[in-house]
């Protein structure tokens, strides 16, 4: 995987410089593999999947974790890879980062994909407390994963998600959860003027469907795509449906090749 501005990322269809650039941003305690291969390899687009700072193979954070702080680092990365504008697609905490980008850096945003996220992301205080200590970190992981999938998710998928989250440093998970619970752009989202796709699952316990419905109702010209019986981690649980919805959305975005810096 290449690295730019201390952020590791995967890139699909690197040679196709004339195609729309799309940046995937994972959720709390995730990495680029939190996105299924079907989404990371969407045909017809240049797909960048990031390891956010402090996650995966990316360098450790140099400041307190927050959605706004992550957004600033993503803008640094964007310049480092020679892109001026892109579509940003975020899951959960990644969606909060995408919203920060759309609100505070609109000149760099062609569109937003907001998946299993919301304008506020309050975290259960019990989970926050458990995640704050290495001694109880694994209990926090178990609680989070238990709320992340629908009852239809394959057991092996749940086990894999648990193992990947457990490999995250406890301080990173706790910082991510703090970034979520401190995030609030409810009063700013109506200012967004870029194309927006909101995706939510009807069985999402962490960011219930009403979160997606609020964004779709509040953000001008936002589109809502609902996946029945899908949980919070629908990017792994229902990847083909998410990929199809994203592809349909991305094909409608106007992009002029050669917009790179």
- Of the candidates 92, 114, 120, 115, which has an alpha carbon nearest to the alpha carbon of residue 102? 114
Phi, psi of 256 (to 5 degrees): -100, 115
Residue 133 lies in a domain: no
Per-residue pLDDT of the chain (261 residues; tens, 9 = 90+): 799 999 999 998 765 778 999 999 999 999 999 999 999 999 999 999 999 999 999 987 766 689 999 999 999 999 999 999 999 999 999 999 999 999 999 999 999 999 999 999 999 999 999 999 999 999 999 999 999 999 999 999 999 999 999 999 999 999 999 999 999 999 999 999 999 999 999 999 999 999 999 999 999 989 999 999 999 999 999 999 999 999 999 999 988 876 554
Residue 174 lies in a domain: no
How many residues make up the chain in this entry? 261
Residue 89 lies in a domain: yes
Which range marks the domain in which residue 78 is found? 3-122+183-251
Residue 127 lies in a domain: no
pLDDT of the residue at 148: 97
Residue 18 lies in a domain: yes
Residue 177 lies in a domain: no
pLDDT of the residue at 232: 98
Encode the chain in three state secondary structure.
CCEECCEEEEEECCCCCCCEEEEEECCCCCCHHHCCHHHHCCCCEEEEEECCCCCCCCCCCCCCCCHHHHHHHHHHHHHHCCCCCEEEEEECHHHHHHHHHHHHCHHHEEEEEEECCCCECCCCHHHHHHHCCCCCHHHHHHHHHHCCCCCCCCHHHHHHHHHHHHCCCHHHHHHHHHHHHCCECCCCHHHCCCCEEEEEECCCCCCCHHHHHHHHHHCCCCEEEEECCCCCCHHHHCHHHHHHHHHHHHHCCCCCCCCCC
**153 vs 131: CA distance, rounded Å:** 24
The domain that holds 103 is classified in CATH as 3.40.50.1820
pLDDT of the residue at 261: 43
**209 vs 203: CA distance, rounded Å:** 8
**4 vs 82: CA distance, rounded Å:** 10
How many domains, in total, are found in the chain?
A: 1
pTM equals 0.96
pLDDT of the residue at 209: 98
Tell how far CA 157 is from the center of its chain: 19
């Amino acid at each position: 995987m290449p690295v730019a501005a201390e952020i590791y990322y995967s890139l699909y269809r690197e040679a196709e410089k004339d195609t729309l650039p799309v940046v995937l941003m994972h959720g709390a305690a995730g990495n680029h593999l939190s996105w299924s291969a079907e989404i990371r390899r969407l045909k017809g687009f240049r797909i960048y999947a990031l390891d956010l700072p402090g996650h995966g193979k990316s360098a450790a954070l140099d400041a307190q974790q927050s959605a706004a702080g992550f957004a600033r680092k993503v803008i640094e990365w964007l310049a480092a890879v020679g892109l001026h504008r892109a579509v940003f697609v975020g899951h959960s905490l990644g969606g909060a980062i995408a919203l920060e980008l759309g609100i505070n850096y609109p000149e760099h945003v062609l569109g937003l994909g907001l998946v299993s996220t919301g304008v506020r992301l309050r975290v259960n205080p019990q989970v926050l407390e458990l995640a704050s200590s290495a001694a109880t970190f694994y209990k926090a992981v178990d609680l989070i994963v238990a709320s992340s999938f629908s009852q239809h998710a394959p057991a092996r998928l749940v086990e894999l998600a648990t193992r990947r989250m457990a490999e995250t440093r406890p301080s990173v998970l706790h910082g991510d959860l703090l970034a979520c619970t401190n995030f609030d752009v409810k009063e700013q989202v109506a200012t967004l003027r870029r194309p927006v796709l909101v995706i939510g699952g009807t069985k999402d316990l962490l960011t219930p469907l009403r979160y997606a419905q609020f964004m779709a109702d509040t953000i001008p010209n936002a589109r809502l795509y609902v996946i029945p019986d899908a949980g919070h981690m629908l990017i792994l649980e229902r990847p083909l449906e998410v990929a199809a919805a994203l592809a349909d959305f991305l094909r409608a975005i106007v992009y002029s090749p050669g917009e790179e810096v």
